[in-house]
Structures are given as structure tokens and as C-alpha cells.
Amino acid sequence: MDHTEAANSNSNSTSPSSSSSPPPPLPPAVVLRPCAACKILRRRCAENCVLAPYFPPTERAKFKIAHRVFGASKIIKFLQELPESQRADAVSSMVYEASARIRDPVYGCAGAICHLQKQANELQAQLAKAQAELVNMQCQQAMPAS
């Protein structure tokens, strides 16, 4: 038996037999280069990995940020609960929120919301004042000078 025969023989011994029972389903193929998430989690990155489309191998920092705040199991759970068309947006917003929480561990995104709410209230007050002044001036112009 030469080397080729030996290789064939080994291959045959592990392949399913040619009986009438259907072959067992193949496990999802393992991709050659794992996504950033699987690489960091040190797990097998299957072809149907739910994280891979949003955390390609070049996006390690992005996954690390989301992972630090939400944890891998929550990220996977959130994504699985959404249709595929909405998952990219969900990942972006999770990474955004996680960055805010890392930057400001006390208030996170809620701090930015408070700040923007205050800014909007101040602008609304300034606008109301300017509009009142405008109405006042229009009235003065409309009245004949005494």
C-alpha cells in the first residue's frame, strides 16, 4: 500500500457507510479566519456565526467595547431576537452605548441625553424670547408714531 492508498483508506474509514440510512447532517463549516468576537472569546467561529457579519477580524476594538459593557451572551441574545435587516443598526447602537458607558461609568448615554435635553430646553426658551421680541417690534411698527 502506497501513501495515496493509505490516505484513501483513512478517508474511507471516517466517511459514512453506503447503507440506506441518510448521512448525518454536516456540522457548520469552520471559517478559516475567525471573526473578531470568536477570536476574543476563544471559540470556534462557524460559518453561521451570528456575530461574524458585524465583527469582522479587523474589528477587535469594536467587539471589545460592546463585550465589556453587555457581555457576549447578551449581545448574541439581542441579535438573535432581531431580524437580520436590523442587526447592523443594533450593533452600532450597542457599541455607541457601550463607548458612552466606558467614557462615563456613572451616567453613560443617559448623561448625554440629560445634556441634550437641557440644551433643547434652553434653545426653546431663547426661541420663545426672540419670537416675542419680533411680535413686539411688529406691533410697534404697525402702530402710528405718537
Q: Verify binding: residue 23, its own copies, rule CB under 8 A.
A: no
List own/partner pairs for 63-66 with CB under 8 A and 24 or more apart.
63/36, 63/37, 64/40, 65/95, 65/98, 65/99, 65/102, 66/91, 66/94, 66/95, 66/98
Q: 1, 26, 29, 130: which one contacts its own copies (CB under 8 A)?
A: 130
Contact between 95 and 62 under an 8 Å Cβ cutoff? The reply is yes
Compare residues 6 and 127 and give the one whose CB is closer to its own copies: 127
Q: Between residue 99 and residue 128, which ones bind its own copies under the rule CB under 8 A?
A: 100-101, 105-113, 116-117, 119-120, 123-124, 126-127
Q: Give the per-residue contact string, 62-101, with its own copies (x = CB under 8 A; - = no).
A: -------xxx-xx---x--xx---x--xx-xxx-xx--xx
Amino acid in position 139: C
Question: Which residues make Cβ contacts (< 8 Å) with residue 107, sequence separation at least 6?
Answer: 114
Closer of 61 and 134 to its own copies (Cβ): 134
Confirm or reject binding of residue 53 to its own copies (CB under 8 A): no
Crossing angle of helices 60-70 and 84-103, in 10° steps, is 70
Note whether 37 and 52 are within 8 A (CB): yes
Which one, 34 or 62, has the nearer CB to its own copies? 62
Binding site for its own copies (CB under 8 A): 69-71, 73-74, 78, 81-82, 86, 89-90, 92-94, 96-97, 100-101, 105-113, 116-117, 119-120, 123-124, 126-127, 130-131, 133-134, 137-138, 140-141
